[in-house]
Structure 1
Amino acid sequence: MTSLTVDAVPRAPRLTGRRFGIGLSGLAVLLLGMDAAGKLFAPAMMIANSPPLGIVADTSFYQLLGGVLAICTAFYAWPRTSPLGAILLTGYLGGAVFAHLRVGSPLFGFTLFGVYLGVLVWAGLYLRDARVRALLGA
């Protein structure tokens, strides 16, 4: 009688983690896309509802920020360029964290929100992209 070892049983593909990663990435794209769209199409409303960050309250500046964010988010959403998009979004979100730190915004509400989004971006990418997992040795 032959006994089966754990190594002899083929593993099922880990689709659950990949699907969860796609869901996290989709949520990040949705949130960042809404922010970019708001800055592009309704900059006056974004200026009025933003905390005072010491940034020039100019609609063209907010539209420029929205364009940069839209491009970074598009790179992240496209599977082939998603690692580049994650790196670009990390830089963009780091600037947002700095801006909030500079003016003394509440830490857990406004200031760290960019960090929360960055973790969401990278967690989604890690779970859905085998290249990123291989790069990190997982």
Structure 2
Amino acid sequence: MTLHRALWAGRVMSAFVVIALVADGIIQLFAPAQIASMLQETGFAMDVTRVVGPIVLACATLYAIPATAVLGAILVTGYLGGAICAHVRIGELGSSPEIISLVLGALTWGGLYARNSRIQAILPLIR
């Protein structure tokens, strides 16, 4: 893949992650009733959306800004890991939310890798 194509592939992957996280954050802040049943299933109170929503939006913002993208990726990874853990805790191994979180995590780092030469230098792929 050429450098230009890799850069654009990384941007597209990263944009998908940012859009998904922003949508999640907005739903948690402005329409928590939409996710009330999922929160109840995983054992979280409705009040947690007022805290988690802004955190998700902050993570997405940090990831979207090139200067803070690595910090954002680390924070997104932590958030997604927590989401996976919440579902493992209740015995939902391999559930849709887990798969989505896993894919978003892979896209987070794949997108950052494709668009950031510093990450490529730290983690070179064998060709």
Q: TM-score, normalised by structure 1?
A: 0.83
Q: Does the aligned pair in 2 maintain the 1:76–1:82 contact within 8 Å?
A: yes
1:128 partner amino acid? R
Aligned counterpart, 2:14: 25
Q: Secondary structure at the match of 1:112?
A: helix
Shift of 1:89: 0.5
Q: Percent identity, aligned pairs only?
A: 35
Shift of 1:49: 5.2
1:95-106 → structure 2 map (5 Å cutoff)? 95-106=82-93
**1:95-131 C-alpha deviation (Å, 9 max, x unpaired):** 0000000112251422232111100100000000111
Q: Does the aligned pair in 2 maintain the 1:41–1:63 contact within 8 Å?
A: no
Structure 2 gap ranges (5+): none
Runs of 4+ that moved beyond 4 A: none
Q: TM-score, normalised by structure 2?
A: 0.89
1:78-117 → structure 2 map (5 Å cutoff)? 78-117=65-104
State the alpha-carbon separation in 1 of the partners of residues 34 and 96 from structure 2: 20
2:101 partner amino acid? G
Choose 1 or 2 for highest CA Rg: 1
Aligned pair partner of 2:5 in 1, 16, 32: 16
Aligned counterpart, 1:75: 62
Deviates more, 1:102-111 or 1:20-29: 102-111
Aligned counterpart, 2:42: 53
State the alpha-carbon separation in 2 of the partners of residues 110 and 73 from structure 1: 18
How many aligned residue pairs are there?
124
